[in-house]
Amino acid sequence: MTLTMQHLQALLPIIITGLTSVAVMLSIAIRRHHAINTTVLVAGLNVALLSIYFAAKVTPLSVTPLLIIDNYALFFCGLILISALACSTLAYAYCEHFTRNREELYLLMSIATLGCLVLACTRHLAALFIGLEMLSIALYGLIAYTYDRARSLEAGIKYLILSATASCVMFFGMALLYAEFGSLTFISIGQHLSSPTSLLPIIGGSMLMIGLAFKLSFAPFHLWTPDVYEGAPAPIATFLATAAKVAVFAVLVRFLLMDAITLLQSSKMMLVLGIMAALSILLGNLLALKQNNIKRMLGYSSIAHFGYLLVLLITANQQLGIEGFSLYLTVYVITSLAAFGVLTLMSTANHDRDADLLEDYRGLFWHRPILTSILTVALLSLAGIPLTAGFIAKFYVVNAGMNAGIWGWALLSVVMLGSAISLFYYLNTMVNLFLSKSNSYPFDASLDWGQHTGGLLVMAATALILLIGIYPEPLIHFLQLNLTGLTNANMHP
Amino acid sequence: MILIWLILIPFIGGFFSWIAELIGTRSPRWIALGSMMLLFALTVWLWLTHNYSLSGIINGQPQWVAEYQIEWIPRFGISFHLGLDGLSLLMVMLTGFIGMLAVGCSWSEVQKYIGFFHLNLLWILGGVIGVFLALDMFLFFFCWEMMLVPMYFLISLWGHNAPGGMGRIQAATKFFLYTQASGLLLLLAIIGLVLVHQNNTGQLTFDYMALRGTAMSSHVEWVLMLGFFIAFAVKFPIVPFHSWLPDAHSQAPTAGSVDLAGILLKTAAYGMLRFAIPLFPNASQALAPFAMWLGVVGIIYGALLAFSQDDIKRMIAYTSISHMGFVLIGIYSFNTIALQGAVVQMMAHGISAAALFILSGQLYERLKTRDLRQMGGLYSRMRNLPPIAMFFAAASLGMPGLGNFVGEFLILLGTYQVNPNVTIFATSGLVLAAVYTLKMVQRALHGQPSDQNSAELMDLNGRERLMMLALMIITLAMGFFPQAILNTSASVIQSLQFQSLQQSLPQQSLPKLP
């Protein structure tokens, strides 16, 4: 097939991000300069973000059998690019006084972002694998970037081994599927898998699911999450929690909710996903209870949140599912940016650890009221308390579950139990911020944190959390307008 | 428009008191007090200028004295819908009054982080007023949950670590968990109701007016009603769900206790009157005998435990459980007189419990203890506080001429027509109330001072005397002229009763309304 200008136009976000990687690499080769190299990356990502507007004019469009550019893909491209921009902004402040080479971090980040974008657009297992590996391999480097810290190095190696194993399992699964069906597109795999004729493709499909479940840290494949979140430098943990998760989830939902909806509706698949969701919610919340490290706590809480999201996916019908899922993920990304953003602002790369212990934050409110308020709002949003966006997201989950009959109610009771448990640790973290002043702060944000772009970013995220929490209609309307209704067109390309 | 200001005043006032801490330590207090006075004045103005006898059900639809509605989340049929009738007006008025007292009683007690304290205090009140005015189930739930967070902060940051009790943070967490977990149940029930309504009519809406009279099978009605009932039962608190209350009270700062006893508990009773019963009339009717006996259990249990407490705030907390038992009986008797009594009792208990908590706060400021064993002989050590305490103890035990008597009397009178057995057992609550109140008076005020250091204590200052004076006047006014309250709430109560009667009759025999 020949590529026309239209195809290129549709691919603009991916192409521009790819070019950005090259540009960052060249600019590092020419001269190491922290500010300039970062600027190249940020400028490139911004242009890519803008180009979504132009790409949206030619959607929906299949570019080669590998990629599809539709509103769904572009929405998640936007979300990924925004998270990547936020992470690189946070990384800039974080690395400012780092004594090692700082610049390669931006190169790796741009490659990881490129992988995420590919994932968001893919509807073919080959592209899925390419995207996933581009993301994962860049992440190995990023997680171990502050390798003077033992934790960071350990986390990097742990992620390398576990993630590579998961990738292998997934790759093997893909091979089995291909051997059976002779096709790698989502649609044909979905069709074949929903009425399997032999054991082989079921094994293959399960291995594929295991791989994706690992990347999304669903229980029981979640064990790496807290360690990696704890060890990764704070801006990278942010990237891991936002862009990386969004991309993999986007591809999972495209597979399950759009291309293989009959597979999702089969009772066995529902059962497997339901058990995975329930396990994630319970284990995530229970294990988060005893953490005194905020990054670990957020890691476990992300496991629980993706459990809730899975419940939404299983119980909702297609339209509500896509809308609710996009809203939930958007809210989660914004909230994580705020929460991790505060952590990043408090930490620097040249310290021997990040500011992630509860005691580092004890009484911070009386010292840094605005920064603490931001973290408080983010925690309340994670807990799903009204006035914050998290409540609207939780509302979608409950709404979908109530509609889904006895099976939905069973899952909802797990959601309820989980969110009751989760209050313990969110409240515990929150109240810690307000306890009596401590005398010294081992970690502290710079005095003028509010004037830096990182500071502005977390404030903007907080404003968005409150805005969506109080008046979600514009976002819902936007999602409905752009995302729903496209699925049917998708089914018959 | 005025309704939206009733909600916004506390929020804006709270925000500005937080900011005002930068100017000085006194300005947050004055701003908070000013906004509460404004709120109270507005409600009084609303009370005097509008006619509340006309609201009620006309053509099967409740009428509101004032209403405000704008679209909020049309995706789910959610609107920002507020409505005011006699019942909600009384509750908002109580909120404004208690709000002034809560600011007043923390004037000298709260010395750290004053701005943030008043932010939390006022935002609780804002959420409570939202609960009292909301006519959209989503908005109602929104406000219901929203007020928990500032209350949590109030207890956990400015609370006491009373000896013998759990720490203040644990108490706050316990409060939050109880109410939040039960709140989730409420959310499920609300959404369930909305979906049933959508299945019936094809219209997705959270509006209270539309959801009234939703037809459903009795099983579904029971399940949904229990979702509402349990959520309200926790906040009420009804006895098996009460254990958060004594802990929260004993660790909370005075203003927190005043808010909690004065108005937060009333949101649950209001929720039953406004939502649980009208939305699920048949199931509520079927639950009524059971609920009334739960009320009796609450009365006796609360009274017995109050009797054995040494911590004066814990004791008052248990008396709250006992008094709220009367309200529960009144609500579920479905009798006009008893329902009217329940409304009066809600107001009167709000005032008298607030007064007792303020008094114990004042005692604590002077004695540095709330342990009844270490008090005694206060009559010889202070001039004004003991007789005032005596006055409110009398109010609490139901002395004729004071507000609580009217409430309890009406409840017992009305219930007797419905279920004499319940009345007989509930009446024992009056006797027990006399026992535990007089025991408290005896231990705290009379006798010899327990410690050797029995010097004269600082008597009430002007601010404290003013607050007590206002409370006493209102208690007396409610005791002698309860008709003003009864008139305001009458039409709401009648419409409630009318509806439950209508529902309890078989549907066929009902004549079509004109």
pLDDT tens-place string over residues B231-257: 999 998 998 899 999 989 988 999 999
pLDDT of residue A405: 82
Three-class secondary structure of residue B63 per DSSP: strand
For the cut 50, the answer to whether the pLDDT of residue A491 exceeds it is no
Beta bridge partners of A124: A185
Report the percent of chain A where pLDDT is more than 70.
96
Q: How confident is the model at residue B32 (pLDDT cuts 50, 70, 90)?
A: very high
pLDDT of residue A493: 35
pLDDT, residue B496, reads 77
Could you give the C-alpha distances from B190 to A2, B21, B193, B244, in angstroms and in order? 55, 40, 5, 24
Main-chain phi, psi angles of B57, to 5 degrees: -95, 125
For residue B272, what pLDDT band results from cuts at 50, 70 and 90? very high
Shortest CB distance from B156 goes to which of A365, A431, A477? A431
Taken in order A34, A39, A44, A45, the sign of the CA dihedral is: positive
Q: Which H helix or E strand runs over B324?
A: helix B312-332
Which of these ranges, A269-283, A445-459, B382-396, has the smallest mean pLDDT? A445-459
Q: Closest by alpha carbon to A363, among A248, A261, A440?
A: A440
- A5-35 tens-digit pLDDT: 889 999 999 999 999 999 999 999 999 998 9
Q: Which of A81-95, A352-366, A442-456, B52-66 has the highest mean pLDDT?
A: A81-95
- Residues B126, B5: contact at Cβ < 8 Å? no
| Residue among A50, A51, A73 at smallest CA distance from A63 | A73
> Please, how many CA atoms are within 13 Å of residue A4, restricted to the half-sphere of its CB?
4
pLDDT in tens, A135-157: 999 999 999 999 889 899 999 99
Whole-number average pLDDT of chain A: 90
Q: What is the pLDDT of residue B512?
A: 39
User: Residue A439 has what pLDDT?
Assistant: 66
> Among residues A487, A455, A407, which one has the least CA distance to residue A93?
A455
Q: Confidence class of residue B511 from pLDDT cuts 50, 70 and 90?
A: very low
Nearest-angstrom CA–CA distance, A477 and A475? 5
* Residue range B189-234, pLDDT digits in tens: 999 999 999 999 989 999 998 998 888 899 999 999 999 999 999 9
Strands B66-73 and B78-84: antiparallel
How many residues are given for chain B? 514
pLDDT in tens, B146-186: 999 999 999 988 888 766 656 888 899 999 999 988 999 99
Res. B497: pLDDT tops 80: no
Where does B333-450 have alpha helices with state H?
A: 336-367, 385-397, 403-418, 420-445
Please give the ipTM for the structure prediction: 0.89
Q: What is the distance between the alpha carbons of residues B270 and B136, in angstroms, rounded to a whole number?
A: 15
Q: How confident is the model at residue A484 (pLDDT cuts 50, 70, 90)?
A: low
How far does Cα B226 stand from its chain's mean position?
A: 21
Do residues A188 and A156 lie in contact, with contact meaning Cβ atoms separated by under 8 Å? Answer: no
Task: Name the token pair of B453.
Answer: 């250091």
Contact A465, A334 (CB under 8 A): yes
* C-alpha to C-alpha distance for B207 and B194, rounded to whole angstroms: 9
pLDDT at A490 exceeding the cut of 80: no
Q: With bands split at pLDDT 50, 70 and 90, how would you rate the model's confidence at B58?
A: low
What three-state secondary structure class fits B369?
Answer: coil
Rounded to whole angstroms, the Cα distance separating B107 from B466 reads 13
Question: From A397, which residue of chain B is nearest by alpha-carbon distance?
Answer: B188
In whole angstroms, how far apart are CA B437 and each of B100, B385, B441, B442, B447?
26, 16, 6, 8, 16
Option in B169, B172, B192 nearest A402 (CB): B192
Give me the residue from B143, B152, B188 closest to A398, CB to CB: B188
Q: Which of A323, A413, A473 is the best residue to mutate to test the B interface, defined by the most B CB atoms within 10 Å of its own CB? A: A473
Task: Give Rg (Cα) of chain A.
Answer: 21
Separation CA A429–CA A288 (nearest Å): 11
Chain B residue closest in CA terms to A379: B149
Q: What does the pLDDT read at residue A364?
A: 85
Say how far apart CA B179 and CA B171 lie, in whole Å.
Answer: 12
The answer to whether B157 contacts A391, with C-beta atoms less than 8 Å apart, is: no
Q: What pLDDT does residue B121 have?
A: 94
Q: How confident is the model at residue A305 (pLDDT cuts 50, 70, 90)?
A: very high
Phi-psi region of B59 (alpha: psi -120 to 50; beta: other; left: phi over 0): left
pLDDT of residue B513: 38
Chain B residues whose beta carbon lies within 8 Å of the beta carbon of residue A420: 177, 180-181, 184
B153 at interface of A, judged by CB pairs closer than 8 A: yes
Instruction: Give the residue-averaged pLDDT of B385-411.
Output: 91
Identify which of A401, A189, A375 has the alpha carbon closest to the alpha carbon of residue A311. A401
Chain A residues with beta carbon closer than 8 angstroms to that of B169:
431
Which of B380-389 are b and which e, b meaning 16 or more Cβ less than 10 Å from the residue's Cβ? ebbeebbebb
- pTM of the full structure: 0.91
Tally: H helices and E strands in chain B: 21, 4
Q: Which residues have C-beta within 8 Å of that of residue B343, sequence separation ≥ 6?
A: B87, B90, B407, B485, B486, B489, B493
Q: What is the 3-state secondary structure (H, E, C) of chain A?
A: CCCCHHHHHHHHHHHHHHHHHHHHHHHHHHCCCHHHHHHHHHHHHHHHHHHHHHHHHHCCEEECCCEEECHHHHHHHHHHHHHHHHHHHHHHHHCCCCCCCCCHHHHHHHHHHHHHHHHHHECEHHHHHHHHHHHHHHHHHHHCCCCCCHHHHHHHHHHHHHHHHHHHHHHHHHHHHHHHHCCCEHHHHHHHHHCCCCHHHHHHHHHHHHHHHHHCCCCCCCCHHHHHHHHCCHHHHHHHHHHHHHHHHHHHHHHHHHHCHHHHHCHHHHHHHHHHHHHHHHHHHHHHCCCCEHHHHHHHHHHHHHHHHHHHHHHCCHHHHHHHHHHHHHHHHHHHHHHHHHHHHHCCCCCCCCCCEHHHHCCHHHCCHHHHHHHHHHHHHHHCCCCCHHHHHHHHHHHHHHCCHHHHHHHHHHHHHHHHHHHHHHHHHHHHHHCCCCCCCCCCCCCCHHHCHHHHHHHHHHHHHHHHHHCCHHHHHHHHHHHCCHHHHHHCC
What is the arithmetic mean of pLDDT over A199-224?
92
- Asked if A420's CB is within 8 angstroms of B185's CB, the reply is no
Instruction: Work out the mean pLDDT of chain B and round it to a whole number.
Output: 88
Residue type, B311: D
Structural contact between residues B168 and B97, judged by C-beta atoms closer than 8 angstroms: no
Residue B500 has pLDDT above 80, yes or no: no
Partners of residue B207 on adjacent β-strands: B136
Judged by CB atoms closer than 8 Å, whether chains meet at A385 and B148 is answered as yes
What pLDDT is attached to residue A4?
A: 87
pLDDT in tens, A248-258: 999 999 998 88
Which of B112, B146, B244 should be substituted to probe chain A, the one whose Cβ sees the most A Cβ atoms within 10 Å? B146
> In this predicted structure, what is the pLDDT of residue B226?
94
pLDDT computed for residue B453 by the predictor: 60
Facing A427 at nearest CB: one of B76, B176, B187: B176
What the block records as the tokens of A280 is: 């994630």
pLDDT in tens, B409-454: 999 999 999 999 999 999 999 999 999 998 888 888 887 776 656 6
Q: Is the Cβ of A472 closer than 8 Å to some Cβ of chain B?
A: yes
Nearest residue of chain A to residue B191 (CA atoms): A399
Contact B291, B328 (CB under 8 A): yes
* Identity at A400, one-letter amino acid code: A
Mean predicted confidence (pLDDT) in B383-395: 90
pLDDT at B388: 93
Q: Is the pLDDT of residue A166 over 60?
A: yes
Q: What is the mean pLDDT of residues B64-84?
A: 91
Q: Which pairing describes strands B78-84 and A61-63: parallel, antiparallel, or unpaired?
A: unpaired
- Alpha-carbon span B379 to B368, nearest angstrom: 17
Q: Which amino acid is at B34?
A: G
Asked whether B285 and B334 are in contact (CB, 8 A), the reply is yes
**Is A424's Cβ below 8 Å from some Cβ in B?**
yes
Cα separations (Å) of B397 from B243, B287, B303, B441?
Answer: 23, 29, 11, 12
In terms of DSSP bridges, do strands B61-63 and B56-58 run parallel, antiparallel, or are they unpaired?
antiparallel
Among A304-313, B142-151, B270-279, B440-449, the minimum mean pLDDT is found in: B440-449
Q: Helix %, strand %, coil % for chain B, to 5?
A: 75, 5, 20
CB B193 within 8 A of CB B137: yes
- Give the residue carrying structure tokens 């109080």: A470
Percentage of residues of chain B with pLDDT beyond 90: 60
DSSP state of B260: I
Residue A215: φ, ψ to 5°: -65, -30
How sure is the predictor about A489, in pLDDT bands with cuts at 50, 70 and 90? very low
